[in-house]
A and B are shown apart, each in its own frame.
Chain A
Amino acid sequence: MSENFMLQIIDVSKVFGYGFLGRIKFPAVDHVFLNIEDKPKIFTIAGESGCGKTTLARMILGIIEPSSGTLLYRNKNLQKLSSKDKLWFLKEVQGVFQDPYDTFNPLKRVETYLFEAARNLLGLKNHEEASKYIDDTLKLMGLSLKDVKGKYPREFSGGELQRVSIARALISKPKLMVVDEPVSMIDASMRMNILNMFKDLRDNDEISFIYITHDLATAYYISDDMAIMYRGVIVETGPAERVLIERHHPYTKALIDALPEYVKRSEWLIKKTKPPGMEIKEFVIPYCKYAHLCQFKMHICTQKRPPMFDVNGVKVSCWLYQ
């Protein structure tokens, strides 16, 4: 009996070519399997820059196509959507991006996107109707149409503009929001307000989130479930609390040990992990991608890529848990 999943990522890979004529290929996303439940939850995909999380996010949003594999949203294949379904998908799944100042065209007034979304996704062609609706949505974010009207992106502070970006995404009343590093360019003093808004939207409006980040501290703060990515592969996934506290995969352990926090002051500089060197090589190896940096490396780690092993509800891709 299969659970009805909201989103299913089945053996998805994305291969990019670079170098002369794009002949050197490397998999930014490498055979990823992931299921998001159909419940209002915040699912975090965490990893360092270059691990493939942004590429994965873009495939979920339908902005780029996978090289292989299938993405199913409510059992509909994203690559085989009819035009009616495409509109439905845009309404259901929306995104917020990292840089609020690039999210909007610097040469255009910010409100144009809000009105476009209202017109294209909800059919609100009447200006007054659309204005009222947009105003209500902005109020959810602590803003109003009066504050926003007539202004260009550079006239906003980072935090405000990001809230406008979130409001734009909320216009179609989506069920799933894919937010890619939404607070990493926002000042620390304003981050928490935005993250709290995500939590409220989950609790009050039953919206699910896929939160992409490299910051494990904020991930811990808002996540329900979590997946850790490394070099295009998911190395661990499960309830956020357990993944971050139990730290099964050696990479998860290394990430958390390296997190700078005042309370760890005395031991932080003593625990040292070998940092990655020349990175591109590590993407294409056919065995465990973390093998060369891993303190627990065994022979089998350099032979085959480990499948996901279940450790009491947390799935770990590591031969240690066979």
Chain B
Amino acid sequence: MELVLRAVNLKGGYSLKSSYASASQHEIYVDAVSGVSLELLRNEIFGIAGESGCGKSTLIKMLYGYLEPPLVLKDGSIYLYTKEGKEIPITSLTKEQLKKDVFWRHVSYIPQSSMNVLNPTMRIRDHFAEMLKLHAGMNKEEAYKEAEKYVEHMGLPKDVLAAFPHQLSGGMRQRVVISLALLMKPDLILADEPTSALDVINQQAVLTMLRDSQESFKNTVVIVSHDMGVHGVITHRIAVMYAGRIMEIGRTEEIFEDPLHPYTQALIKALPRLGDKAQRRGLSGHPPDLKNPPPGCRFRPRCPSYGSQCREETPSLIEVKPGRYVECWLYST
């Protein structure tokens, strides 16, 4: 299968000055992404699952190339492969170069809150017009006509174009943002918790739109979400993150029906299901403090099946079956 993105050993995090509580001003580093390697294939929906503080949002920002301080990339490289066959080294480009050639054209980023993307003083059709002017060289008339056709094709009502962002509901705004993200037909779309702020019915509309557009454009969509249900209905493959590292990667069916890593197993076991009143158990404890991560495997303090090796050495992500990766001493020799 064709590769669309390769990330090699990404290490990065947040460089903070100490809070007001302590008098000294030494620097604190939050190790948010700690050695993540990833390969994304063309024509798939890839889910990144994990709970708060696992680093999934940080990872997405790195993949996009959006390194705004205090976020720093300490090591690692990212290569994007466009459908024309070009290789773009995301980590070597400057912000200006990325803005000019890469953002919206080859990679689109959809943040959690749609209002971070939409300009409250511009009507929706002007958002489309601005992008078409910048990237396709159209004038305003052409752009408006193109926007009308496009918006209809994406299943949005035409009167959305004349509205201002605040006049639309949250779900409608999110769908507008997705349309904007797909406008220039990029190779990769990164969506960070695209439906967390939405109710279930709007969520279904947004996810359906993502899935339908992925099927017709045959691009790659990465969905970051803490909601395993979202991953269960829409993704093809899932990566499970914990405390800045990837614990497991596999096809969605494999992850749900046969989770290998103890953390994944706990997550799947804790899922409530309609029609099933059986007692569920969650994990005890809480994720580690990434200013001071534990030695060895970061999941060890909460793991129900840890061994002596887990404290001494950090396991690496190993391919135990074709396409199936686990980072756990239970599965390494």
Q: Give the interface of A toward B (CB within 8 A).
A: 48-50, 157-160, 187-193, 195-196, 214, 216-218, 220-221, 244-245, 254-265, 268-269, 272-273, 275-279
For the complex, give the distance between the alpha carbons of A191 and B205 in Å. 27
**What are the residues of chain A within 8 A of B202 when measuring CB–CB?**
275-276
A-B contact pairs, 19 of them (CB 8 A): A188-B227, A188-B270, A188-B271, A189-B267, A189-B270, A192-B270, A193-B284, A221-B277, A244-B274, A258-B200, A259-B229, A261-B229, A261-B273, A262-B231, A262-B256, A272-B205, A275-B172, A278-B168, A278-B169
**Which positions 193-216 of chain B face chain A at CB distance < 8 Å?**
199-205, 207-208, 211
For the complex, give the distance between the alpha carbons of A189 and B227 in Å. 11
**What are the residues of chain B within 8 A of A273 when measuring CB–CB?**
201, 204
Which of B204, B211, B267 has the most chain A CB atoms closer than 10 A to its own CB?
A: B204
Chain A CB within 8 A of B272 CB:
yes
Chain A CB within 8 A of B320 CB:
no
**Which positions 13-34 of chain B face chain A at CB distance < 8 Å?**
none
- Which of A159, A192, A218, A265 contacts B232 (CB under 8 A)? A265
**Which single residue of chain A is at the shortest CB-CB distance from B283?**
A189
The reply to whether A263 and B169 form a contact with Cβ atoms under 8 Å apart is no
For the complex, give the distance between the alpha carbons of A177 and B122 in Å. 46
For the complex, give the distance between the alpha carbons of A258 and B277 in Å. 20
**What are the residues of chain A within 8 A of B204 when measuring CB–CB?**
257-258, 260, 268, 272-273, 275
The reply to whether A217 and B229 form a contact with Cβ atoms under 8 Å apart is yes
For the complex, give the distance between the alpha carbons of A256 and B201 in Å. 9
The reply to whether A260 and B282 form a contact with Cβ atoms under 8 Å apart is no
For the complex, give the distance between the alpha carbons of A160 and B207 in Å. 33
With both chains docked as a complex, state the minimum distance between the C-beta of B123 and any C-beta of chain A, in angstroms: 16
The reply to whether A260 and B274 form a contact with Cβ atoms under 8 Å apart is no
Starting from the known contacts A260-B227, A261-B232, A269-B207, 12 additional A-B residue pairs (CB-CB under 8 Å) come to A48-B199, A159-B286, A187-B51, A187-B226, A188-B270, A188-B271, A216-B200, A265-B232, A273-B204, A275-B204, A276-B201, A277-B169
Chain A CB within 8 A of B67 CB:
no
A216 and B280 contact, Cβ closer than 8 Å, known pairs A269-B233, A276-B169: no
The reply to whether B282 and A275 form a contact with Cβ atoms under 8 Å apart is no
For the complex, give the distance between the alpha carbons of A157 and B283 in Å. 14
User: Does more than half of chain A's interface fall in helix, strand or loop, or is it mixed?
Assistant: helix
**Which single residue of chain B is at the shortest CB-CB distance from A152?**
B21
- Which of B167, B211, B266, B283 contacts A278 (CB under 8 A)? B167
With both chains docked as a complex, state the minimum distance between the C-beta of A228 and any C-beta of chain B, in angstroms: 12
With both chains docked as a complex, state the minimum distance between the C-beta of A153 and any C-beta of chain B, in angstroms: 13
Chain A CB within 8 A of B171 CB:
yes
The reply to whether A261 and B282 form a contact with Cβ atoms under 8 Å apart is no
**What are the residues of chain A within 8 A of B220 when measuring CB–CB?**
none
The reply to whether B226 and A258 form a contact with Cβ atoms under 8 Å apart is no
With both chains docked as a complex, state the minimum distance between the C-beta of B333 and any C-beta of chain A, in angstroms: 29
The reply to whether A279 and B274 form a contact with Cβ atoms under 8 Å apart is no
Chain A CB within 8 A of B114 CB:
no
The reply to whether A275 and B274 form a contact with Cβ atoms under 8 Å apart is no
The reply to whether A191 and B199 form a contact with Cβ atoms under 8 Å apart is no
The reply to whether A196 and B279 form a contact with Cβ atoms under 8 Å apart is yes
Chain A CB within 8 A of B252 CB:
yes
The reply to whether A188 and B267 form a contact with Cβ atoms under 8 Å apart is yes
The reply to whether B205 and A216 form a contact with Cβ atoms under 8 Å apart is no
- Which of A193, A260, A261, A264 contacts B281 (CB under 8 A)? A193
Number of interface residues of B (CB under 8 A): 47
A259 and B274 contact, Cβ closer than 8 Å, known pairs A48-B200, A190-B286: yes
The reply to whether B281 and A192 form a contact with Cβ atoms under 8 Å apart is yes
**What are the residues of chain A within 8 A of B51 when measuring CB–CB?**
187-189
**Interface readout for B285-324 with A: 1 if CB under 8 Å, 0 if not?**
0110000000000000000000000000000000000000
A277 and B283 contact, Cβ closer than 8 Å, known pairs A256-B274, A269-B211: no
**What are the residues of chain A within 8 A of B85 when measuring CB–CB?**
none
The reply to whether B233 and A279 form a contact with Cβ atoms under 8 Å apart is no
**What are the residues of chain A within 8 A of B157 when measuring CB–CB?**
277
The reply to whether A217 and B282 form a contact with Cβ atoms under 8 Å apart is no
- Which of B200, B226, B229, B266 contacts A262 (CB under 8 A)? B229
The reply to whether A258 and B234 form a contact with Cβ atoms under 8 Å apart is no
For the complex, give the distance between the alpha carbons of A216 and B275 in Å. 11
For the complex, give the distance between the alpha carbons of A276 and B204 in Å. 12
The reply to whether B208 and A269 form a contact with Cβ atoms under 8 Å apart is yes
Which of B168, B211, B271 has the most chain A CB atoms closer than 10 A to its own CB?
A: B271
**What are the residues of chain B within 8 A of A195 when measuring CB–CB?**
280
The reply to whether A260 and B203 form a contact with Cβ atoms under 8 Å apart is yes
9 closest A-B pairs by CB:
A262-B232, A48-B199, A157-B286, A260-B229, A192-B282, A187-B51, A258-B204, A217-B272, A189-B283
With both chains docked as a complex, state the minimum distance between the C-beta of B320 and any C-beta of chain A, in angstroms: 22
For the complex, give the distance between the alpha carbons of A278 and B204 in Å. 17
- Which of A216, A261, A272 contacts B208 (CB under 8 A)? A272
The reply to whether B280 and A221 form a contact with Cβ atoms under 8 Å apart is yes
For the complex, give the distance between the alpha carbons of A188 and B275 in Å. 19
For the complex, give the distance between the alpha carbons of A2 and B327 in Å. 62
For the complex, give the distance between the alpha carbons of A279 and B208 in Å. 21
The reply to whether A260 and B230 form a contact with Cβ atoms under 8 Å apart is yes
The reply to whether A192 and B272 form a contact with Cβ atoms under 8 Å apart is yes
For the complex, give the distance between the alpha carbons of A50 and B171 in Å. 13
With both chains docked as a complex, state the minimum distance between the C-beta of B200 and any C-beta of chain A, in angstroms: 4
For the complex, give the distance between the alpha carbons of A191 and B269 in Å. 12
**What are the residues of chain B within 8 A of A189 when measuring CB–CB?**
51, 263, 266-267, 270, 282-283
- Which of A188, A193, A255 contacts B201 (CB under 8 A)? A255
**What are the residues of chain A within 8 A of B330 when measuring CB–CB?**
none
**What are the residues of chain A within 8 A of B203 when measuring CB–CB?**
258, 260
Chain A CB within 8 A of B332 CB:
no
The reply to whether A262 and B252 form a contact with Cβ atoms under 8 Å apart is yes
The reply to whether A260 and B52 form a contact with Cβ atoms under 8 Å apart is no
With both chains docked as a complex, state the minimum distance between the C-beta of A214 and any C-beta of chain B, in angstroms: 7
**What are the residues of chain A within 8 A of B286 when measuring CB–CB?**
157-160, 187, 190
**What are the residues of chain A within 8 A of B52 when measuring CB–CB?**
158, 187
A245 and B275 contact, Cβ closer than 8 Å, known pairs A190-B283, A259-B200, A260-B204: yes
